[in-house]
Structures are given as C-alpha cells and as structure tokens.
Amino acid sequence: MIKDNQKYFNRLHVVIDAFVIAASYLLAWFIQFEFIVDETTGKLPVGTYMSALIFVVPGLLLLYYAFNLYTPKRVQGRRLEISNIFKANVIALLCFFFVLFLTHLDDFSRKMVFMFFGLNMCLEVLVRILIRMVLMNMRKKGMNLKHILLVGYSRGAEEYIDRIKANPQWGYLIRGILDDNVERGTTYKGVKVIGRIDNLMVILPENRLDEIAITLGLNEYYKLEHIVSLCEKSGVHTKFIPDYNNIIPTKPYTEDLLGLPVINIRHVPLTNTFNMLVKRTVDIVGSICAIVLFSPVMLAAAALVKLTSPGPLIFKQERVGLHNRPFMMYKFRSMEIQREQEEKAGWTVKNDPRVTGIGKFMRRTSIDELPQLFNVLKGDMSLVGPRPERPQFVEKFREEIPRYMVKHQVRPGMTGWAQVNGYRGDTSIRRRIEYDLYYIENWTVGLDFKILLLTVFKGFVNKNAY
C-alpha cells in the first residue's frame, strides 16, 4: 500500500531538497568569488560563508514543510507548488538579511545571497518537475498506486470515477463500490459494485486500503455518521464527495457560527467592498487609456458608418446588468435601420442581409464594441465580466439554464472568460454560462489582466460574429 511508502518518499524528498539547497549555496559562492571575483565586497573567510549553511539548510526545509511542500501532490497543480517554493524562499531571504543586519556582517556579499536564492528557486522547481514526471510515469505503468474504495453509488461516484479514469497519472486505483441499492456486479467504466455498505466491517480490518471515498446519494445521507465512525476507527483516510455539486460551487466557503459550520452556496469575491473598489479603479483607468488609444480607430469607424449607410452613428440597445438593472449599451451601428419588433426577433445569423458591408468587418474585428468603453466609464459595465444580454433573452434563459441569473451578481463586461475561450456570438449559451460562473467564483485582479491580455492576442477577431 502507498501509505507504507509515503513516509520513506517524504524523507527522501527532504534529503534531495537539502542537497539542492546546499548545492545552490555552494554554486552561488563559487560564481561570486571564483568566477566573478569582486574585490570590493564579501571580504570574509570561506569558513564564515560555509558556517551559514548550518542554519540555511534546516531553516529552508522547515519553511518548505510549513508551506505544505511535503504533502502528497497527486492532484495538486504545478503552479501552486511553484508559488509555495517562491513564498518560502522570499521569507527565507528576508530572514537572512535580518540576521545579517543584527550581526553587523556588512562585508557578507549581498550579491551572493541574492544569487543563492535565485539559483535555489530555479533548481527546486526543476527538481520537483522531474520528480513529478518520474512519479506520473510510474503511476501510468501501474506502480505507486493509491487503492480506494467508494461507499455509495451516486452521480458523485460516477463523476469521481470519470476523473480518475481520465487521469491515470494521478495513480488512483478504485477497488470497487459498496452500495445498498444497486445490484452487486453492476459495473461503471470497469469499476464494480462489490457488496453492501455493511461489508465495510469486514473490509476495513484487513487494512489494505489507502482511502475511503464516501459517495452516498442525497437520500442516503442519514448513513453518513455511521460510515465515518467505522472509517475513523480503522484509521483509514476518509474523504467525502457530495452529491450536490450542481448546487454548491467547487470552492464553497464556510462560516463558523459559534461552532456550527455554515456553508455559503455561492462565493462571489466581488461582493467584497475592497475588491469592488480595486476592480472599479482598474475599469476607470483602463477605459480612459483605451479611449485615448483607440480614438483614431473609433473616429475612422464613425466616418465609415456615416458614409456607407443612412441612420444614427451609435446603436443603443437595452441590456440587463448588475443586480438585474437595465441599461443602454452602446455600439457602432453595423446594421440597417429596423423596426423595434424586427430587432427583438433574435440574434443575427450567417449572411444576415441586415448587416451592412462595413458592419461585417466591424463585427468580425469587434470594432463595433468600442463605444462600450463609455459604458465602462459610466459604471454600467466593466472591462471584464459576463457579456450582458437583452431582457427578453434573460427571461427565457433564466427558466431554461440553471444558475443563469448568478451572472448578474457582477457588472457585465466588454470581454470575459467565456469569450477568450471561444464562446462568443452564435455558440452554446450553456457552456458560456459555465465559464461565466467560473469567472464569478474565482475572480482575481490577475484573472482580469489575463483575460484582457488574451483578448488582445486572440479575442478581437470573432469568427462567430455575423
């Protein structure tokens, strides 16, 4: 079982890290004093520099432990691991300089210290990527597997099996499912129902499992306390996979109400006042800069619209925004003048005769959307967010698509996570909402800048805009 090997692997990992730290330090010293040879700094005996390793190695190892760098990483992303390596090294660097300040070691080479931490971060990332690749390759070949038993046959169990089967590099082997309602021998993607839940009393004492995953259906949650009690008595690591992931988001947050855990159904970071102020500041500054930057393009587009077809320059259309409030969204007019009922008929389609010649080009390149920068400046919209929809479609989709109205908890945007992932124009509205919900629940300033950058490189030209 993998649980018997994990402690030995962790010890080996600590030894490898200690070697990497020491090697990085020695390499930095060699480069600084044997290769560069700076006569003005670092005039201290070699022993002084080497004695620092006595504190540096264990200190960094403790920080790595504090940042969970020695926990199993079968499903943990590389970015999180790299981020933790960076954080641990930054804290160590600050501590190192603080100690140098307290001990008045003014001649201790600061260049060498910076070089050491830079080399150490790079080598640590490289070594961990190599270890990850070796382990993934072993797991794909059937080695270093973690044996799991599922308790309960439900949608949650099927979705868990789907992900395990799609990612053999995680090294999970599902031994079977216990369930009281599904016939024994029933198979889902090669995983069989091998017995009833009461069989746990026989299976657990054998101690041949690494994990128990409780995947009960909603109607069987009354059994949860008994199952958890059995698992905890056996000492087997237990996880709970809820059967209501279509209701609760992937990152729910809880509140402690005098010892009572309260799960919030939807976590929206932009309900936080500070986050709202940051996003609004970015919108104001960004929209002003964009208006100045794109003013020649907008002037040229305005002239072409006026010269090529009769009618108003700006097309105003009612859309639904933050907190379900309607607002007038601006666009350069790209279609012939039409009656209000014709306009409400539906989306434009391929080779739509209502679109003007210059309108086709503007819609393909998203130039017709540029007047929305003034909507952003007014506060009706944001630079980044879910695209706003017309009231009649909001009423239609709110009945047809689960959680559709969640998108109105934030300001609509000129571009969004769905758009940069290809869901623009005449594409699946359900998939678009999935991407919008991900954005709403996982918003950060960094994600906004990432979306804006992706929009610049691949978001302006829209093959689905007719």
* Residues 129, 174 share a domain: no
Percent of the chain scored above 70 by pLDDT?
A: 88
> pLDDT of 170-228, one tens digit each?
888 899 999 999 999 899 999 999 999 988 888 887 767 888 999 998 888 888 888 88
- 218: closest CA among 174, 153, 264? 153
CB–CB of 237/227 below 8 Å? no
Domain boundary among 140, 163, 193: 140
The reported pLDDT for the residue numbered 247 is: 65
CATH code of 173's domain: 3.40.50.720
314 found inside a domain: yes
* Residues 293, 151 share a domain: no
β-sheet bridge partners, residue 418: none
199 found inside a domain: yes
Give long-range contacts, CB 8 A cutoff, 24+ apart: 37-44.
38/109, 38/111, 41/107, 41/109, 41/110, 41/111, 42/107, 42/108, 42/109, 42/111, 42/112, 43/107, 44/105, 44/107, 44/108
* Residues 231, 103 share a domain: no
255 found inside a domain: no
The reported pLDDT for the residue numbered 449 is: 94
Indicate the pTM of the whole model. Answer: 0.60
The reported pLDDT for the residue numbered 353 is: 67
Residue type, 143: M
Please check the confidence at residue 451 and state whether its pLDDT lies above 80. yes
The reported pLDDT for the residue numbered 248 is: 66
> pLDDT of 421-443, one tens digit each?
887 766 778 888 889 988 998 89
* Residues 51, 17 share a domain: yes
103 found inside a domain: yes
> pLDDT of 288-339, one tens digit each?
999 999 999 999 999 998 888 888 888 898 999 998 999 999 999 888 776 6
* Residues 135, 158 share a domain: no
CB burial readout 124-158, b (16+ within 10 A) else e = beeebeeebeebbeebeeeebbbebbbbbbbebbb
Residue type, 406: V
Domain of residue 373 covers: 271-459
Q: How many structural domains are present in the chain? A: 3
386 found inside a domain: yes
What is the CA 60 to chain-centroid distance, rounded? 28
426 found inside a domain: yes
- 49: closest CA among 93, 118, 110? 110
81 found inside a domain: yes
β-sheet bridge partners, residue 172: 146
Mean pLDDT of the chain: 84
* Higher-pLDDT residue of 161, 463: 161
* Residues 434, 305 share a domain: yes
* Residues 279, 235 share a domain: no
Q: How many whole angstroms separate alpha carbon 28 and alpha carbon 120?
A: 9
